[in-house]
Structure 1
């Protein structure tokens, strides 16, 4: 029995966001590792911020699409603890897809740094607050590690169901 697939738009958003999120985490770590003397270091920041804002827009779209789409249920044969873990993992992924870019956006805004979406200036929404910006910087620096841990759990779970379970439990096949 072939598992029911997710709607095409949900699959496209899933994979677009997966690659964008991994790329932005890598670019964030790369730009943060550069010394201040590297001439192009601050040329990366506007791109990083633009992709962060894009992720926030995409996750909003993804949530709306999910709310109004028929999505396949978890396989009936999955043990309850795996169903619970799958749901917790998905809720965590959605929360982190919102929290990571939101912490970066508010950090920049509170720090008095301009925000652009691929060259389009965005309005300043907060007054400058260096203390808040510092706290948000710490949060924005650490939560990508938690995000990667949850992503790894998500991938390991999908691969486990693909290669170690019965074919009807292949949740990865539903998203391919």
Structure 2
């Protein structure tokens, strides 16, 4: 089932969700793991390059994901949550989507402003931003802050899914991870 049904997400939405989640977990992990290695060491540089690649992958995944999300009706939650719960869920989801677009852009901007040539798996990306070392540092700080916000919102998203599944006992979690249910 490619498309969402009234009761569960379709395989395309699920693939976008889980691939995005995996890429975000990888990019956040690489950002932390690289700090265990000395600056300019081969291992740290390699981890940093993988961080950049996965950041670009997140950006490339989220754009079609948003288009797919807008073109498919959301499956209903059974039993229905309160209007406030739905509002909070929508705010967190759309904030995460926005951050998955904005955070990689700020990462690319900070690198290119620092005069770095950025590659996606050895393919050089076009220079989109001018060189400005002072701006590069400021943009890097914003990029890191946005990454921390992504981490906390992702943890809130996971906690909410588990809360709904184990405490409220609705089908919020199984709509994305359980057996697909046709209309």
In the superposition, the TM-score normalised over structure 2's length comes to 0.86
Question: Where do 4+ consecutive residues of structure 1 move more than 3 Å?
Answer: 73-76
What pairs with 1:1-176 in structure 2 (closer than 5 Å)? 4-36=7-39, 38-75=41-78, 77-166=80-169, 169-176=170-177
Q: 1:80 to 1:68 in 2, by over 3 A?
A: closer
3-state SS in 2 of match to 1:48? helix
Paired residues of 1:7 and 1:71 also in contact (CA < 8 A): no
RMSD of aligned Cα (Å): 1.7
Paired residues of 1:158 and 1:170 also in contact (CA < 8 A): no
Instruction: Name the count of aligned residue pairs.
Output: 172
Q: For 1:101-129, what per-residue CA distance to the aligned partner results, in whole angstroms no more than 9, with x for missing partners?
A: 11111111111111111111111112201
Paired residues of 1:7 and 1:69 also in contact (CA < 8 A): no
Per-residue deviation, 1:34: 2.7
Unpaired runs of 5+ residues, structure 2, are 1-5, 178-183
In the superposition, the TM-score normalised over structure 1's length comes to 0.90
